[in-house]
């Protein structure tokens, strides 16, 4: 189980990272990611039902530590999709929208405080009731949704673990969006708001090129400051741009694909204008 799970998770995360680099439209990217995760869970379920578990310890480990990691990704991306799809226009409406989402996270935390403490404290004395199939105990605050879930591939609390993991990620995302929203409010309101619609990889390629050319404050800037400025100015989340830059460096061909395209297009336009 361990090897199959690790290989499956690695393939999923690799596919997600590639999409983060290449797909420009955030909502389209999230839709594709969600489909990938659903497919991944389907394969995992098929493997579990066909192979089973060696013992109860392996089953508990799977439903407490492994399956929730992947389900958390599904919850996270599905939530982010809804947040982005329903996001209003204007900094104040956006702030209200995001704060409403934060309240949902707080409500889940308050309603599941006992289990939060159990899980966060790495307790295990109730694991056989929480993370073994067919061990349903109504007195342990089981969600109504569990009764409609597939009992062959779920326990009473594996989904709650996934929610806890996902909510941590969602909170970071929302707080980052709130910070960006505040930064937008500080910008001159007379300036037009420009959004970067190219790929993240392209912008990161450009940022590093400008940084190494020392064009900002004679090079007396940290790359993080420059990246943060571009994120705020162009309404984009560059994520782990260090990792993206390493992937650009490791490309066997076209390591500066975007910069090369910029140069070629500029020369082409200049040539066209010279001919007129």
C-alpha R_g of the chain: 23
pLDDT higher for 3 or 150?
3
> Residue 252 pLDDT more than 70?
yes
> Residue 205 pLDDT more than 80?
yes
Contact (CB, 8 A) for 158 and 131: yes
Contact (CB, 8 A) for 132 and 59: yes
Q: What is the pLDDT of residue 24?
A: 56
Q: What is the pLDDT of residue 251?
A: 80
Residues 6+ apart with CB under 8 A from 241: 200, 204, 207, 223, 227
> Residue 86 pLDDT more than 70?
yes
* Rounded mean pLDDT, 240-255: 84
* Rounded mean pLDDT, 247-274: 88
Interval 184-204: pLDDT, tens: 776 655 567 778 888 888 999
pLDDT higher for 98 or 236?
98
- What is the pLDDT confidence band of residue 210, given thresholds at 50, 70 and 90? very high
Contact (CB, 8 A) for 47 and 98: no
| pLDDT > 90: percent of the chain | 51
> Residue 230 pLDDT more than 70?
yes
- What is the Cα–Cα distance from 146 to 21, expressed in whole angstroms? 36
Q: What is the pLDDT of residue 232?
A: 81
Residues belonging to the chain: 276
- What is the pLDDT confidence band of residue 225, given thresholds at 50, 70 and 90? confident
Q: What is the pLDDT of residue 151?
A: 82
Interval 8-45: pLDDT, tens: 999 999 998 888 766 656 788 899 999 999 999 999 99
Cα angle, residue 267 at apex, residues 265 and 271 outer, rounded to 5° = 115
| pLDDT > 70: percent of the chain | 90
* Rounded mean pLDDT, 222-246: 85
Interval 168-184: pLDDT, tens: 999 999 998 888 777 77
CA torsion angle for 264, 265, 271, 274 (degrees, to 10)?
-140
> Residue 238 pLDDT more than 80?
yes
Domain ranges of the chain: 2-186, 200-275
Question: How confident is the prediction for the chain on average, in pLDDT?
Answer: 87
Q: What is the pLDDT of residue 190?
A: 57
Contact (CB, 8 A) for 254 and 201: no
Interval 120-138: pLDDT, tens: 999 999 999 999 988 776 6
pLDDT higher for 109 or 276?
109
Contact (CB, 8 A) for 235 and 195: yes
pLDDT higher for 21 or 155?
155
């Amino acid at each position: 189980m361990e090897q199959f799970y690790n290989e499956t998770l690695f393939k999923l995360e690799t596919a997600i990272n590639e999409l983060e680099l290449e797909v420009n439209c955030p909502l389209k990217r999230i839709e594709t990611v969600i489909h990938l995760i659903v497919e991944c869970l389907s394969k995992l379920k098929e493997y579990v039902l066909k192979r089973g578990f060696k013992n109860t310890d392996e089953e508990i480990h799977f439903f407490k530590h492994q399956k929730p990691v992947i389900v958390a990704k599904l919850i996270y991306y599905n939530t982010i999709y809804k947040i982005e799809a329903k996001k209003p226009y204007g900094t104040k409406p956006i702030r209200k929208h995001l704060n409403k989402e934060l309240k949902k996270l707080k409500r889940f935390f308050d309603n599941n405080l006992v289990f939060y403490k159990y899980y966060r404290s790495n307790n295990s004395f109730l694991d056989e009731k929480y993370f073994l199939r067919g061990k349903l105990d109504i007195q342990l605050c089981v969600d109504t949704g569990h009764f409609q879930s597939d009992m062959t591939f779920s326990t009473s609390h594996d989904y709650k673990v996934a929610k806890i993991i996902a909510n941590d990620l969602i909170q970071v995302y929302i707080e980052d969006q709130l910070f960006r929203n505040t930064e937008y409010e500080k910008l001159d309101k007379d300036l037009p708001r420009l959004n970067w619609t190219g790929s993240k990889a392209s912008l990161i390629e450009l940022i590093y090129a400008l940084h190494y050319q020392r064009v900002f404050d004679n090079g007396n800037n940290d790359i993080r400051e420059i990246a943060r400025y571009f994120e705020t100015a162009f309404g984009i989340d560059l994520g782990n741009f260090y990792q993206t830059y390493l992937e650009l460096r490791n490309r066997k061909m076209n390591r500066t694909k975007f910069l090369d395209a910029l140069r070629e297009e500029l020369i082409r336009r200049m040539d066209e204008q010279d001919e007129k």
